[in-house]
Amino acid sequence: MTGPGRGVMLCDDLIFFSRVAATARAAGLEVKQVRSAAALLEAVKQDPPGGIIVDLHAAGLDVPALLAGLRTACPVMPRTIAFGSHVEAETLRAARAAGVDRVMPRSQFVKELEADLRAWLTPVGELS
């Protein structure tokens, strides 16, 4: 299943990912977990998703390089959502500056998850 309603989440926190995956299943959506930027790029090459969720706390993450890789790997650029610690304001600003579609603190991500997950898993330009 390619496109809207399917996503890939870069996150090494299994418990937090389980919460996101359960929310997706309840809404009839699907989110797959990957634990590295390289695994994310490989996953999107094989089956481009509608959206990508990135935990900015992921070890060794280079957001500009990740976005460049996504642009190369995907015929249609997926919507990108990123979240991180509210105390790491510079990390959040840098993700915005790199071109992530939506960047927010983790607490806001959790608050908006149920209501906005479908939109997050829909490529930019495909929302009605």
CB 12 within 8 A of CB 35: yes
The CA distance from 64 to 127, in Å, is: 25
The CA distance from 35 to 12, in Å, is: 5
Neighbouring residues of 34: CB distance < 8 A, sequence distance ≥ 6: 8, 9, 10, 40, 43
| pTM given for the model | 0.92
Q: With 80 as the cut, is the pLDDT of residue 127 above it?
A: no
What is the band of 126 on the pLDDT scale with cuts at 50, 70, 90? low
The CA distance from 53 to 90, in Å, is: 19
The CA distance from 82 to 103, in Å, is: 5
What amino acid is encoded at 52 in this protein? I
Neighbours of 14 (CB within 10 A): 10
pLDDT (tens digit per residue) in 34-80: 999 999 999 999 989 999 999 999 989 999 999 999 999 988 889 99
Helix ranges, 29-104 (H): 37-46, 63-73, 89-98
Q: Does domain 3-120 have CATH number 3.40.50.2300?
A: yes
- CA-based nearest residue to 12, from 71, 65, 63, 61: 61
